[in-house]
Amino acid sequence: MDLLNTLVDKGLRRETPTREEALAVLATSDDDLLDVVAAAGKVRRHWFGRRVKLNYLVNLKSGLCPEDCSYCSQRLGSKAGILKYTWLGPGEASQAAAAGVAGGAKRVCLVASGRGPTDRDVDRVSQTIKAIKDENEGVEVCACLGLLSEGQAERLREAGADAYNHNLNTSEATYGDITTTHTYADRVDTVRKAHAAGLSACSGLIAGMGESDEDLVDVVFALRELDPDSVPVNFLIPFEGTPLAKEWNLTPQRCLRILAMVRFVCPDVEVRIAGGREVHLRTMQPLALHLANSIFLGDYLTSEGQAGKADLEMIADAGFEVEGTDRVTLPEHRAGGGCGPDRADGVCGSHGSGNGCGSHGSDGGCGSHGSGDGCASHEDGAGRAAQDGEEAPGSVPGAGGPRTDLVAVRRRGPGTDLAPNA
Ligand code: SF4
């Protein structure tokens, strides 16, 4: 297909596709899906080989947020039955982080619900960063604390943070439909602050919130312009008890096309499959490793992921390898500077010095926090959500409809007495 040949050539040269080409990827048919994956897979392997970076989430403060992000189980007025707790101490957070590192994670993502940190919160997180770094040599720490005020990014950098996550989540045109308590411009501002302070920028999106293909292309092009080093791609987890609980509109095929489009637009950037991986890609998860070079290990902020051991087995079975701390994730031209894909000369792009970085996700990290990584409301004793109605014997549960059976509230790890999943 001419489109795919063109996109591979551009991806290998770090050249931006046109909007029309990005839209065309999202419009490909299921018959062409494996060709799309193979093409984007060439670009992924060119820049990242067969390595998969593992990231581990530690939810430092869960629930009780005053913001109203519609996708989020921790939002104002959320009826989702998630764990709610205030700040974990440095020792408890470090213990959780150590479990992730022992499971193979090279980055720990410290996330806290809320509009943004107070200066006292920055002090707390600084102590936690120090505790984690003292105990885990070579680990990268990313903070995801919401909107930053002047000077806070610099203080986190001084405390040893490597990166900052703040997601754009959706297009500027639709942002007001998703959240009313802060703006798209607020989010852009925080990503820029982190970047300017020398933090590696991590900023991504949430798909599946009812957006159009144009919205998805808009947000991915906006991310390319902001030039983060890592782009988490969340797939909405429609938690019962949140306004987007009925938005079950993703298929595994759609998720693969979205990941391929992100890879073509951001070819040399760490593309991470974030919240909703198990819920929406389901048995197609291994194919997505041909597109993304990074995933979260184990559980998310407020929902449970598949067992960490299953993540590791999937990576090995699909012919990939876990990236060790001895390897630099980004290609050489980006290392240490957050340089963007258009800089053929290796000179940093539009946002000055620094390493660049992002926000909180859709439970898959940090979106502004999470993709609905909240959780489902009707969980049974095992933490699994109960379905309306019974499935016929031998049928595929919930095929073509809501898969609340796949959404489980996190009941282990930080904020509980049970061991983390890593
Ligand atoms: S995404 Fe972050 S800011 Fe928005 S409601 Fe959730 S915890 Fe609050």
Please report, for residues 65, 83, 213, 396, the alpha-carbon distance to residue 74 in angstroms, rounded to integers and kept in the order given.
6, 9, 27, 31
For the chain, how many structural domains are there in total?
A: 1
Q: What is the pLDDT of residue 335?
A: 76
- Whether 336 is in a domain gets the answer no
- Whether 338 is in a domain gets the answer no
236 Cα to the center of ligand 1, angstroms: 14
Residue 189 has pLDDT above 70, yes or no: yes
Higher pLDDT, 348 or 116: 116
Higher pLDDT, 419 or 353: 419
Q: What is the pLDDT of residue 1?
A: 75
Of 51-60, 81-90, 219-228, 346-355, which gets the smallest average pLDDT?
A: 346-355
Residue closest via CA to ligand 1's atom 5 equals 75
Asked if residue 182 has its Cβ within 6 Å of ligand 1, the reply is no
pLDDT, tens only, 49-82: 999 999 999 999 999 999 999 999 999 999 999 9
- Whether 407 is in a domain gets the answer no
Residue of 79, 87, 190, 360 to test ligand 1 pocket, by largest number of atoms within 8 Å of CB = 360
pLDDT, tens only, 140-179: 999 999 999 999 999 999 999 999 999 999 999 999 999 9
Q: Which of 235, 302, 319, 224 is nearest to 272 (CA)?
A: 235
Q: Which of 159, 59, 164 is nearest to 421 (CA)?
A: 59
Asked if residue 218 has its Cβ within 6 Å of ligand 1, the reply is no
- Whether 270 is in a domain gets the answer yes
Full residue range of the structural domain in which residue 362 is found: 2-325+355-368
Asked if residue 72 has its Cβ within 6 Å of ligand 1, the reply is yes
pLDDT, tens only, 285-295: 999 999 999 99
- Whether 349 is in a domain gets the answer no
Please report, for residues 219, 289, 422, the alpha-carbon distance to residue 67 in angstroms, rounded to integers and kept in the order given.
21, 33, 30
- Whether 196 is in a domain gets the answer yes
Q: What is the DSSP letter of 232?
A: E
Q: What is the pTM of this model?
A: 0.89
pLDDT, tens only, 340-350: 333 333 333 33
The whole-number average pLDDT for the span 276-286 is 97
Q: What is the pLDDT of residue 363?
A: 64
- Whether 57 is in a domain gets the answer yes
Q: Give me the CATH number covering residue 201.
A: 3.20.20.70
- Whether 135 is in a domain gets the answer yes
CA distance 13 to 16: 9
Q: What is the pLDDT of residue 396?
A: 53
CA distance 7 to 26: 13
Asked if residue 369 has its Cβ within 6 Å of ligand 1, the reply is yes
26 Cα to the center of ligand 1, angstroms: 28
The strand pair at 360-361 and 107-112 is best described as unpaired
Q: What is the pLDDT of residue 402?
A: 87
Catalytic (active site) residue 272: yes
Name the active-site residue from 75, 124, 263, 272: 272
